[in-house]
Structure 1
Amino acid sequence: MTRTPEDFVGRWSLQRTIRDQLNGQHGALAGNATFTQVDATRLTYDETGTLTLENGVHLEATRQYLWTFSPDLVTVTFSDGGLFHQFVPSDHAIGTDHPCGGDFYKVRYDFTTWPRWTAVWTVTGPRKNYVSTSIYAPMPSPP
Structure 2
Amino acid sequence: MRPVPDTAAYLVGRWSIDRAVTDERSGARGTFVGTAVFRRTDDELLEMESGEFVWAGTANPASRTHRLVPRADGTVDVLFADGRPFHHLDLRTGRWHTRHPCAADRYDGEFTVVSQDEWHLLWRVEGPTKTQTLTSVYRRIHTVS
- TM normalised by structure 2 equals 0.89
Q: Per-residue deviation at 1:131?
A: 0.7
Structure 1 Cα separation of the partners of residues 28 and 85 of structure 2: 28
> 1:88-99 maps to which residues of 2 (within 5 A)?
88-90=90-92, 91-95=94-98, 97-99=99-101
- Whose strand fraction is larger, Structure 1's or Structure 2's? 2
Paired residue total:
140
Q: Per-residue deviation at 1:103?
A: 0.4
Q: Aligned to 1:112, what secondary structure does the other structure show?
A: strand
Q: 2:81 aligns with which of 79, 82, 102?
A: 79
Greater RCO (CA < 8 Å, at least 6 residues apart): 2
Q: Report if the CA contact (8 A) 1:65-1:78 is conserved.
A: yes
- Give unpaired runs (5+ residues) of structure 1: none
Structure 2 Cα separation of the partners of residues 35 and 80 of structure 1: 17
Residue 5 in 1 paired to residue 13 in 2?
Answer: no
Structure 2 Cα separation of the partners of residues 124 and 131 of structure 1: 9
Q: Per-residue deviation at 1:21?
A: 1.1
- TM normalised by structure 1 equals 0.90
CA RMSD of aligned residues (A): 1.5
1:50 corresponds in structure 2 to 52
Cα pair distance change 1:86/1:4, threshold 3 Å: closer
The aligned amino acid for 1:65 is H
1:63 corresponds in structure 2 to 64
